[in-house]
């Protein structure tokens, strides 16, 4: 489930004239307002702190593709190291493990609220669930810090790195000292998507679990 939480991540944005001089918050708000859907590729690296944060040990790496349409519709596909699909149609979330031919079904409901998923897949009202603040410049990116207002979220802080109006990276720090670092590429903003693009087709013979 750690991968399930970590996959909820940020991608996409609006390329603005002079965006390089804009603050992270200005770039991010433009991204949220203008990006109704997107698709692209991601890579993900999980790091586990070993002694309270002073050292870190690489835990795992993965990569794949994503497509989303706000609010609440997305397909997040892990290609490496093994196949897994997470898909939401706005009402239900489907987690498909290809190797096990197993599907877990969850109600989407308010689950996106204060999770990292809300940044990418949710509504535009982010400041309802997050406290947003500038995070400075690092590695050529302007960083934005998003702290969940809810006390029961498993994430302590979400950091978003932007360049030229486009979110290029995201760091998720959970309450167990683990950090997921994501990078995005081949981002395509507002692509044409079919009416049934997010309709989940149950694999033949799959074991289904409803949570």
The pLDDT profile of the chain, 211 residues, written as one tens digit per residue, is 555 445 443 333 333 333 345 899 999 888 888 899 999 999 999 886 544 444 444 457 899 999 999 888 999 999 988 889 999 998 999 999 999 999 999 888 755 655 666 777 776 677 878 899 999 999 899 999 988 888 777 788 889 999 888 889 999 998 888 899 999 998 888 999 998 999 999 999 999 999 8
Output the pTM of the full model.
0.77
Which of helix, strand or coil describes residue 29? helix
User: CA 88 to CA 95: how far, in whole Å?
Assistant: 9
d(CA 96, CA 87) in angstroms, rounded, equals 8
- Domain span including residue 58: 2-210
Q: How far apart are CA 78 and CA 93, in angstroms?
A: 16
Containing H/E element for 76? strand 73-80
For residue 150, the domain's CATH number is 2.50.20.10
Domain count across the chain:
1
């Amino acid at each position: 489930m750690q991968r399930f939480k970590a996959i909820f991540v940020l991608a996409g944005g609006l390329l603005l004239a002079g965006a390089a001089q804009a603050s992270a918050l200005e770039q991010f708000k433009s991204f949220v307002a203008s990006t109704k859907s997107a698709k692209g590729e991601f890579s993900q690296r999980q790091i586990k702190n070993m002694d309270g944060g002073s050292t870190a040990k690489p835990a795992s790496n993965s990569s794949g593709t994503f497509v989303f349409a706000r609010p609440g519709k997305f397909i997040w596909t892990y290609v490496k190291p093994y196949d897994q699909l997470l898909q939401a149609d706005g009402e239900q979330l489907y987690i498909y493990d290809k190797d096990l031919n197993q599907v877990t079904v969850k109600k989407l409901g308010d689950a996106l609220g204060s999770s990292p998923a809300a940044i990418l897949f949710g509504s535009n009202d982010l400041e309802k669930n997050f406290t947003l603040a500038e995070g400075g410049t690092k590695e050529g990116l302007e960083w934005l810090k998003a702290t969940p207002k809810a006390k029961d979220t498993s994430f302590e802080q979400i950091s978003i790195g932007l360049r030229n109006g486009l979110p290029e990276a995201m760091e998720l720090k959970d309450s167990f000292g683990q950090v997921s670092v994501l990078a995005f590429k081949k981002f395509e903003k507002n692509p044409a998507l079919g009416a049934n693009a997010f309709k989940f087709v149950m694999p033949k013979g799959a074991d289904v679990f409803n949570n």
